Amino acid sequence: MHQSNRSLLDIDRDHLIHPVTSFRGHEARGATLLQSGKGMWLTDMDGREVLDAFAGLWCVNVGYGQDSIVEAAAEQMRRLPYATGYFHFGSEPAVKLAQRLVDLSPDGLDHVYFTLGGSDAVDSAIRYITHYYNAIGKPAKKQCIALERGYHGSSSTGAGLTALANFHRGFDLPLRWQHHIASPYPYRSDLEGDDAAIIARSVQELKDKVAQLGADNVAAFFCEPIQGSGGVIVPPVGWLKAMRQACDELDILLVADEVITAFGRTGPMFACEAEGVTPDLMTVAKGLTAGYVPMGAVLMSDKVYQGIANGAAPDVAIGHGATYSGHPVSAAVGLEVLRLYTEGGILANGQKVAVRFDAGLAGLADHPMVGDTRGRGLLGAIELVADKGGKTRFDPALKLADRLFAKGYENGVIFRAFADNIIGLAPALCASDAEMDEIFARIRKTLDDLL
């Protein structure tokens, strides 16, 4: 059939493979096509307006329809749409963006490698770490440790650090050098209420895992400062600092995966900042360009950079890179997005409206379906349980997460509904107090509808 005679939805079903979506499920259900957005609001192809409480996929942190970003991209496309970073070429926006990131990030992260997104950033970090240990004459140090419930993207190596079952199932992952320790998950811990004990247990588990693998074989510990896709798990304050200290004692690198938490999502510009932590490598993406165009980055300490630099002959290229690394249009967008966070006041607005967000979360705690609410900055979760006292999860056969998402959409709010019935929230930092209240009113109605 000629394309013009078929609906977009039929074409989508027949030809477009959607990320992290059941093929058969999608054939049956089809897509919801989004048409436009402004601020916190999205409009779908049926003209329905919905409040986006998830900033796209935790990325559109400055909201939709920011004209200055569009202008920055158009101006760069007109002037120079592409410049390779290969062969010692470069472009003005990529250089300026690297400088901005070095200036804004925790002291000690002095070098920036641009990637195409978060998965590529995690993969690049793994590649650089491997290169680093070979270069400094410790080639056995290759084992990597991450957290259960962690998410580090879906590349063929990084997905092994991800500890969510459907990213491993059918893909022969994780690989032999990827290991996991328990997530610091206060609500589901027998130590709930004793933050110091939760932190001490994580530190001990990392030490035990390193001892089991042999200290000379372990390269790095990867973690999200707050776990996102695992269900927005907020560790106790001080956890990251303690893990930094443990990594130093164990002589392993700390990689902070700030793909979600960077750029004001948890309050400060970077989540590491709140704990006074400088990781050896930091991965970022999402909020860097606020979802307007793809881009990520690896920020690297001078120690790792110098180790790699000293280990290679000056005339031999370090064979890691991509055609679009440091893409000038993405970099121009990144610069404008960072300007909006800082001089544009969006970071400050996010910190202000986070008070309302917190109140909204707390206000749902009395709901009969709500077992736990948690959050930091504008990253939060509402964990639903069948029985508050016993923290019993709902029967998976109920497929509550699917129903929650559908009902939420019907009520005009988009959030993430994780399979174990955790509602994930990550509204844009440009939200008003009134929009924040509206988000929580719509979520309450959604829960009431499903009671």
Residues at the interface with ligand PLP (CB under 6 A): 117-119, 122, 151-153, 224, 228-229, 257, 259-260, 285
Tokens of 374: 């948690």
CA–CA dist 90, 84 (Å, integer): 6
CA neighbours within 13 Å on the CB side: how many for 219? 28
Minimum gap (Å) between residue 293 Cβ and ligand PLP: 12
Closest distance of CB 34 from ligand PLP, Å: 18
Nearer to ligand PLP, 229 or 446 (CB): 229
Q: How far is the CB of 285 from ligand PLP (least distance, A)?
A: 5
Shortest distance in whole angstroms from residue 203 CB to ligand PLP: 21
Q: Is 9 helix (H, G, I), strand (E, B) or coil?
A: helix
CA 30 – CA 8 distance, rounded (Å)? 10
Q: Identify the CA nearest to 322 among candidates 286, 285, 296.
A: 296
Please give the residue whose beta carbon sits closest to ligand PLP in the complex.
118
Q: How far apart are CA 259 and CA 261, in angstroms?
A: 6
Please say which residue, 257 or 336, places its beta carbon nearer to ligand PLP.
257
- Least CB distance from residue 260 to ligand PLP, whole Å? 4
Please, are residues 173 and 164 in contact by the beta-carbon 8 Å criterion? no
Residue type, 170: G
Q: What's the sign of the alpha-carbon dihedral 337, 289, 240, 363?
A: positive
Q: Which is nearer to ligand PLP, 255 or 370 (CB)?
A: 255
| CA 286 vs CA 10, 72, 151, 294: distances in Å | 30, 18, 14, 8
Cβ 117 to ligand PLP shortest distance, Å: 3
CA distances from 394 to 192, 367, 385, 397, 422 (A): 21, 15, 6, 8, 11
State which residue, 19 or 389, has the beta carbon closest to ligand PLP. 19
Residue 321 Cβ vs ligand PLP, minimum distance, rounded to whole Å: 17
Give the nearer residue to ligand PLP in terms of CB position, either 298 or 447: 298
Going from the C-alpha of 429 to that of each of 127, 229, 283, 401, 435, the distances in angstroms are 33, 19, 21, 25, 11
CB 322 within 8 A of CB 74: no
Instruction: Report residue 346 CA to chain centroid gap.
Output: 19
Nearest to 280 by CA among 300, 260, 252, 261: 300
Closest approach of ligand PLP to the CB of residue 266, in Å: 12
Residue closer to ligand PLP, measured from CB, 55 or 385? 55
Nearer to ligand PLP, 307 or 326 (CB): 326
Instruction: Tell me how far, at minimum, the Cβ of 159 lies from ligand PLP, in Å.
Output: 9
Contacts (Cβ under 8 Å, ≥6 apart) of 346: 61, 62, 264, 340, 429, 430
In the complex, least distance from residue 151 CB atom to ligand PLP, rounded to whole angstroms: 5
Determine contact, residues 364/447, Cβ cutoff 8 Å.
Answer: yes
Between 229 and 411, name the residue whose CB sits nearer to ligand PLP.
229
Please say which residue, 1 or 165, places its beta carbon nearer to ligand PLP: 165
Q: Which is nearer to ligand PLP, 226 or 332 (CB)?
A: 226
